[in-house]
Structure 1
Amino acid sequence: MTRLGASVRTLDEFFDRLVIVDDVAFIAANEDRTSAAAVREPAVVRFLRDTFDRSWDRAQPFPFVPHHAAKAADEVIPAIRTSIKRLLIEGYPDKQIARRLGISERSLQTHIASMKQELGARNRLQMGYLLGRNGTTFVL
Structure 2
Amino acid sequence: MQRQAELPIEHLGGEEVIGEALRLAVGSCKEELLTAQPGGGRSPALLAEALPRDLALVRKGVRQRTLYQHSVRSHGPTLAYIEQVLAEGAQVRTLDEIFERVIICDRSIAFIPGAPERKSAALAIRHPGAIEFLTKVFEHMWERAEPIALATEQHRPDLLTNSVRRTVLRMVVTGHTDETIAARLGVSARTVSTHIRKVSEALGSRSRAELGYLLSQRRLLEPEGSLLGETPRPQTRPRRQTTREHCG
Where on the TM-score scale, by shorter chain, does this alignment land: which range? 0.7 to 0.9
Equivalent position of 2:202 in the other structure: 118
Aligned counterparts, 1:82-121, within 5 A: 82-121=166-205
Deviations 1:33-92 (A, max 9, x none): 34422123333322211111011111111145548x4x5434531111111122223333
Deviations 1:83-107 (A, max 9, x none): 1122223333322211121101111
Q: When the two structures are superposed, what TM-score results if normalisation uses the length of structure 1?
A: 0.81
Unpaired runs of at least 5, structure 2? 1-84, 224-248
Mapped contact 1:11–1:60 kept (Cα < 8 A): yes
Equivalent position of 2:126 in the other structure: 40
Unpaired runs of at least 5, structure 1? none
Distance across 2 between alignment mates of 1:64 and 1:97: 27
Mapped contact 1:66–1:75 kept (Cα < 8 A): no
- Identify the match of residue 109 of structure 2 among 9, 16, 24: 24
Tell me: CA distance 1:87–1:33, structure 2 relative to 1, closer, same or farther (3 Å): farther
Say whether 1:57 aligns with 2:179: no
Distance across 2 between alignment mates of 1:65 and 1:109: 31
Identity of aligned residues (%): 36
What count of residue pairs does the alignment treat as equivalent? 137
Mapped contact 2:179–2:189 kept (Cα < 8 A): yes
Mapped contact 2:98–2:141 kept (Cα < 8 A): no
Q: When the two structures are superposed, what TM-score results if normalisation uses the length of structure 2?
A: 0.49
Tell me: CA distance 1:58–1:43, structure 2 relative to 1, closer, same or farther (3 Å): same
Cα shift at 1:14: 4.1
- Mean Cα displacement is larger for which, 4-13 or 34-43? 34-43
SS in 2 for 1:103: coil
Tell me: CA distance 1:65–1:16, structure 2 relative to 1, closer, same or farther (3 Å): farther
- Say what the alpha-carbon RMSD is for the aligned residues: 2.4
Deviations 1:95-138 (A, max 9, x none): 22111211011111111111211111001000001011112345
Distance across 1 between alignment mates of 2:174 and 2:150: 28
Tell me: CA distance 1:97–1:53, structure 2 relative to 1, closer, same or farther (3 Å): same
SS in 2 for 1:109: helix
SS in 1 for 2:162: helix
Distance across 1 between alignment mates of 2:112 and 2:136: 15
Distance across 1 between alignment mates of 2:149 and 2:122: 27
Give the letter aligned to residue 114 of structure 2: A
